Chain A
Amino acid sequence: MKETTEAILAEPAHKRRRRKLNAMGRREAMWGYLFIAPGTLGVIVFTLIPLLFSFVMSMTDWSMLNTPHFLGLANYRELFQDKTVRREFQNTFLYAFGTAPIGVFISLVLATLMSTKIRGRSFYRVAYFLPYVSMPAAITIVWQWMLNSDTGIVNAALGALGFNKVAFMSDPKLIMPVMIFISIWQMIGYNMVILLAGLQNIPQTYFDAAKVDGAGGVKQFFTITIPIVSPTIFFLMIISFINSFKAFDIVYMIVGAHAITSGGPLANASRTAVYGIYEKSFIELRMGYAAAEAVILFLIILVLTFVQFKLQNRWVHYD
């Protein structure tokens, strides 16, 4: 590089070529800016500015109808003492802690079963994947009916087996497990597709060696499969956690029908942070307060995403 620079300085012919290169470079730069301009503008307008605005708004009492007053950290102080908000975050954590580990574990077991040479693999793969692309609002309605205590088929099946009816959809104690179940049901196919890719990278010789040592299927699962796909497992856990923190649709479909009684026990047991932000801003018109809750949620997701980024290079399936 240094050599060429000297050569260019020494010889006029090269000097001309350098000027030409510069012109080309300028042209390339101009096109570069042109290509990224619309996208960059979009990101500034629809992500960066709203983000900064959230922080500012979270320190005001804005309702969209009044002139906002600066409150400092008062919203945050209120937030930490607000029982409803505490419940929203408790529910969100409960939902995330229920969904992520159980969902990933079930997916791993199923993916392991599927990775053995069995027939109908691609059939199974599609069947398990379909819930993932289906509309959460619609499937919540179906599950609501299927789990209904009077007309639901799940209770009919329980009754046929001689069990008592279970009020899955109206018992506040059961609504969270039901939400976790529906969410796991939706996520399994996606987790499985990614795990299957990871499982295919395990050399068959590992299992053969284990078999010679007399290890059974369960032992192989815990001593070979889990350790080798552990980066994928961890990745999926973080992804599931982050997605669970954004839960809204299921809650809206469950609570929305009880909008009048949104302080009721069923709503209290199922409301999540994003639902709380929705309710505070668009029903109670406390934009500033809702923004403060959004900032807290953001900080939690930020930490989780940071962990994910740190671990991304350990994720095997990037080929």
Chain B
Amino acid sequence: MTEKLKRRRIRPRSVLIHAVLLLGTVTMLLPFLWMLLASFKTYQEVMHIPIIWLPSSWNLDNYVEVLGNMHFGRYFFNTLVVTFLTTAIQLTFCALTAYGFSRLRFPGRDAIFFGFICLLMVPTQMLIVPRYIMMVKFHWLDSYAALIIPHFISIYGTFLLRQYFMALPRDLEDAAKIDGCGYIQIFLQVLMPLMTNACLALVVYTVVFNWNDLLWPLLVLNSEKLRTLAIGIASMRDEHTVARHLMMTAGVISTFPLILVFAFGQKKLIESMALSGIKG
């Protein structure tokens, strides 16, 4: 009896909570849904007033047009390559540097690391002008070197991984040293396998940043064939002539890969994002 009453009393409140959360969910997901629906519509359908909600036929004509004739297939591939390379290289060098700063002792170590910490506060947006000039001088303009090499080390990534290296017990290395392992072996075979969570956090952060970044690629890339998805979208916007249903198709191609990865790998990925949250 009391059990029943209790349940009944709780109900209206949880209905209210669900109503609020669902309203929020609709606001969060509506743009993606709207974009997805529009990617199947025709020009007439997207420009129609009053609004047509569902496309009349579910064909892939827009995707063929955007991926092929508008070269988004190439942009997609470019973005994938740049994101993959930047992430892999950055993870490697951040891990090496972080290992040096955390597990090895040498004169000047803490002073150099303090320098890193000081530079952690410098936002890269502030450095675009001198970095751009540097790319000009190195003759890296309009090549992927300009996208990848300046990002081969991340101070934040080094800082993040160092914190995790510090937390690992020292006995691990001592045992390995007695077995005659060298530093590279200790790094690769003993410590790195224990760093998967920290590495995942950095990978997620780097992938999301590089996949979506607009400012830097916009500055250093000119050729149409090197464009990334973000520049592809931005230049569609500038050209004025591109019809809306095709822009939405390009939007789906640019946003859905990461969205799907997060939707399916959600628990681990989202939690690792929370761990990497100390980014300033």
Question: Is B266 a contact partner of A129 (Cβ separation < 8 A)?
Answer: yes
Checking A116, A194, A317 against B17 with a beta-carbon cut-off of 8 angstroms, the contacting residue is: A116
In the complex, whether B171 has a CB less than 8 A from a CB of chain A is: no
* B277 and A317 form a contact (CB under 8 A): yes
Residue A202 at the chain B interface, CB threshold 8 Å: no
- In whole Å, how far is A121's beta carbon from the nearest beta carbon of chain B? 9
Q: Mark A290-308, 1 if CB is under 8 A from B, else 0.
A: 1100110110011001101
A interface secondary structure, majority: helix
A114 closest partner in B (C-beta): B21
Q: Which residue of B lies closest to A305 (CB)?
A: B121
The interface stretch among B56-64, B192-200, B231-239 is: B231-239
- Cβ-defined partner of B125 (8 Å) among A120, A126, A185, A248: A248
Q: Which of B28, B134, B248 is the one whose CB lies under 8 Å from A50? A: B134
Query: Count of chain A residues with Cβ under 8 Å from any Cβ of B?
Result: 98
Asked if A242 lies at the interface with its beta carbon under 8 angstroms from chain B, I say yes
Q: Answer whether residue B189 sits at the interface, using C-beta atoms and an 8 A cutoff.
A: no
Q: How far is the CA of A39 from the CA of B262 in the complex (A)?
A: 30
B262, A294: Cβ atoms closer than 8 Å:
no
Interface size class of B (residues with CB under 8 A): 35 or more
Closest to A232 in B: B277
* Shortest distance between the CB of B62 and any CB in chain A (Å): 15
Determine the chain A residues whose CB is within 8 A of the CB of B107 once the complex forms.
29
Q: Identify the interface centre among B25, B34, B130, B271: most chain A CB within 10 Å of its CB.
A: B130
B109 at the interface (CB under 8 A from A): yes
Cα–Cα, bound, A126→B261 (Å) = 11
| Given contacts A57-B130, A139-B255, A127 and B25 within 8 Å (CB-CB) | yes
Q: Which residues of A, 268-319, contact B by the 8 Å Cβ criterion?
A: 274, 277-278, 281-282, 287, 290-291, 294-295, 297-298, 301-302, 305-306, 308-309, 312, 317-318
What residues make up the interface of A, taking CB atoms closer than 8 Å to B?
A: 25, 28-36, 38-40, 42-43, 45-51, 53-54, 57, 64, 110, 113-114, 116, 118, 120, 122, 124-139, 141-143, 145-146, 150-151, 153, 156, 185, 188-190, 193-194, 197, 217, 239, 242, 245-246, 248-249, 252-253, 256-257, 259, 274, 277-278, 281-282, 287, 290-291, 294-295, 297-298, 301-302, 305-306, 308-309, 312, 317-318
12 contacts between A and B (CB under 8 A): A30-B106, A33-B100, A38-B93, A38-B153, A39-B93, A50-B130, A54-B129, A122-B267, A136-B212, A137-B234, A301-B126, A305-B120
Could you tell me which B residues sit within 8 Å of A by CB distance? 13-14, 17-18, 20-21, 24-25, 27-32, 34-35, 38, 46-51, 93-94, 96-97, 99-101, 104-107, 109, 112, 115-116, 119-123, 125-134, 136, 150, 152-153, 155, 158, 183, 187, 208, 211-212, 214-215, 218-219, 229-230, 233-234, 237-238, 240, 244, 247-248, 250-251, 254-255, 258-259, 262-263, 266-267, 270-271, 273-274, 277-280
